[in-house]
Amino acid sequence: MDFDSDRDDLVGKINMNDGCSLISLAAAREVAKLLDIGDGYLPSAFQGRIGSAKGLWIVESDEYHFNGTPRSDEGFWIKVDPSQWKYTPNLDNTVDTDGDQATFEVCKWSKPLRSHYLNKQLLPILGEGGVAPQILAGLINEGIANEAAELITAMQSLIGFRKWNGDKNPTIKQRARDGDVKMLGGLPASTAERINLLLEVRH
């Protein structure tokens, strides 16, 4: 493992990689393999810890990697930046390969891009980023129309509506936490459970 401890280049400058460092492509591929992520997907970053360090490790890459051919001198390494240390380790630019100090523990990793809902927290950020209000309005209207069309289609059958309700309002975790379905005035307390009950009664 490679510990970067020389930060003289940051004197008088703003540190823009606080808590972040790099992991080689070869090491990242091995981590992804051990995690059994599958489908040939390689995350671009891992959140985790190694030894006394915690933070984000970004997969090192350059133009040679984009065609699927790694550099011949790539190597197998994980760099640790001093900003990631939770306490200063007693190291001499190396990590003892014995024991847990050399284990790279992964908490989360980057996921492929996917569509998601706009939310109130994101809208001001998009506005500050220069996204025109009419574009945001168009996206919101499009999302509402898609949701309405999906709901209308689901309501054509009891089974379809029950599936829609389950997809939009998962109740299994809540039931597991409560140990039962909470009731209020003879009906389930949650709207999702009320829908399920009424659909079952009608069925």
Q: Is the pLDDT of residue 143 over 90?
A: no
What DSSP character marks residue 184? E
Supply the pLDDT for residue 66: 46
Strand partners, 46: 57, 109
Supply the pLDDT for residue 4: 47
Query: Is residue 19 within 8 Å of 83, Cβ to Cβ?
Result: yes
pTM of the complete model: 0.54
**Tens-place pLDDT, residues 172-184:** 777 767 778 888 8
Dist CA 3 CA 79 (whole Å): 5
Please give the C-alpha separations between residue 56 and each of 21, 75, 106, in angstroms, as whole numbers: 6, 20, 10
Query: Is residue 93 within 8 Å of 57, Cβ to Cβ?
Result: no
Dist CA 37 CA 161 (whole Å): 33
**Tens-place pLDDT, residues 76-135:** 889 888 889 888 776 554 555 555 677 899 999 998 887 777 778 888 888 898 999 999
Structure tokens at 28: 């990242």
Query: Is residue 28 within 8 Å of 42, Cβ to Cβ?
Result: yes
Q: Is the pLDDT of residue 196 over 80?
A: yes
Dist CA 167 CA 151 (whole Å): 11
- Which residues lie closer than 8 Å to 85 by C-beta, 6 or more apart? 52, 53
